[in-house]
């Protein structure tokens, strides 16, 4: 239904405009315009953020959607930290509505059920699991671990924010850039990575490559 394409929710930090990541952009654009027109004047002066969940919206498309909202008097929210807080609250609310419960064992993680192409970015304050490849030009930035169930050939940053215990795990590791916490792997070492390196962690200032052992 078209109402699911674009959801507009009020939060403490302004409006959150949620887009369905599985629908065509033109459908989303038309639905947003229709919603703005039907509520003409109602949202005037309100700050807003646009999100497509874990999916990064292409810059050209996002600019077009932002301009549509501006035409109806809305003001873009430039506080990225606020958007992260909004999404955290939205996720918790959605889980509560579904009656979900936290597992007794394990930790919450963002699941990305697709490969990431050049120009796409996924950022999350916790662990990230990519069910696909991270291709050159794609970025994954996680406050915890990063696991790629495929080829990792893009830019990966685990432990962003200073978590030195974070790991990068992949079926095949050959990233263009790899960082854990504040430490960045040198390009020379990155180029020499081969398929048997399945996990990377920090030991002091040194990057340690080892076979991934679940539960470690």
Kindly report the pTM of this predicted structure.
Answer: 0.50
Q: What pLDDT is stored for residue 104 in this prediction?
A: 40
Task: Tell me whether residue 89 is in a domain.
Answer: no
CATH at 185 = 2.160.20.70
Q: Give residue-wise pLDDT tens across range 100-154.
A: 434 344 567 888 888 999 999 998 888 999 988 999 999 999 989 999 988 899 9
Residue at which a domain ends, from 38, 65, 80: 80
Task: Tell me whether residue 127 is in a domain.
Answer: yes
What sign has the CA pseudo-torsion 150, 155, 160, 165? positive
In a shared domain, residues 8 and 54: yes
Encoded tokens for 37: 């027109």
In a shared domain, residues 74 and 113: no
Residues 6+ apart with CB under 8 A from 209: 173, 193, 197, 199, 200
The answer to whether residue 193 scores a pLDDT higher than 70 is no
In a shared domain, residues 128 and 191: yes
In a shared domain, residues 129 and 193: yes
In a shared domain, residues 119 and 38: no
Domain residues for the domain of 201 are: 109-210
Q: Domains in the chain: how many in total?
A: 2
Of residues 193, 197, 167, the one with CA closest to residue 180: 167
Task: Tell me whether residue 142 is in a domain.
Answer: yes
Q: How far apart are CA 183 and CA 204, in angstroms?
A: 10
In a shared domain, residues 118 and 195: yes
The answer to whether residue 195 scores a pLDDT higher than 60 is no
Give me the chain's average pLDDT, please. 79
DSSP string, the chain: -HHHHEEEEEETTEEEEEE-TTS-HHHHHHHHHHHHHHTTTTSTT-EEEEEBTBBPPPHHHHHHHHHHHHHTT-EE---HHHHHHHHHHHHHHHHHHTT----SSS--EEEE-S-B-TT-EEEESSEEEESS-B-TT-EEEESS-EEEEEEE-SEEEESTTT-TT--EEEEEE--SEEEETTEE--HHHHHT--TT--EEEEETTEEEEE---TT-
CATH at 56 = 3.30.750.50
Q: What pLDDT is stored for residue 89 in this prediction?
A: 58
Task: Tell me whether residue 93 is in a domain.
Answer: no
In a shared domain, residues 70 and 117: no
Q: Give residue-wise pLDDT tens across range 8-31.
A: 877 777 788 888 888 888 999 999
In a shared domain, residues 75 and 125: no
The answer to whether residue 216 scores a pLDDT higher than 70 is no
Task: Tell me whether residue 46 is in a domain.
Answer: yes
In a shared domain, residues 120 and 69: no
In a shared domain, residues 71 and 148: no
In a shared domain, residues 130 and 195: yes
Encoded tokens for 194: 């081969």
Tokens 């470690």 correspond to: 216
Task: Tell me whether residue 198 is in a domain.
Answer: yes
């Amino acid at each position: 239904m078209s109402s699911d394409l674009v959801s507009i929710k009020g939060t403490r930090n302004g409006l959150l405009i949620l887009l369905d990541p599985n629908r065509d952009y033109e459908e989303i654009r038309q639905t947003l315009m229709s919603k703005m027109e039907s509520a003409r004047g109602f949202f005037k002066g309100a700050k807003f953020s646009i999100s497509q969940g874990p999916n990064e919206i292409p810059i050209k498309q996002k600019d077009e959607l932002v301009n549509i909202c501006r035409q109806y008097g809305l003001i873009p929210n430039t506080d990225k930290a606020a958007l992260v807080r909004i999404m955290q609250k939205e996720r918790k609310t959605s889980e509560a509505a579904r009656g979900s419960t936290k597992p007794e064992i394990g930790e919450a993680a963002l699941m990305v059920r697709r490969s990431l192409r050049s120009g796409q970015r996924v950022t999350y304050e916790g662990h990230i699991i990519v069910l696909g490849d991270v291709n050159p030009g794609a970025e994954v930035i996680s406050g915890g671990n990063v696991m790629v169930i495929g080829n990792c050939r893009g830019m990966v940053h685990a432990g962003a924010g200073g978590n030195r215990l974070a790991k990068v795990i992949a079926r095949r590791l050959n990233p263009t850039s790899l960082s854990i916490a504040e430490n960045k792997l040198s390009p020379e070492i990155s180029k020499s990575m081969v398929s048997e390196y399945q996990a990377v962690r920090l030991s002091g200032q040194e990057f340690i490559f080892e076979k991934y052992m679940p539960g470690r």
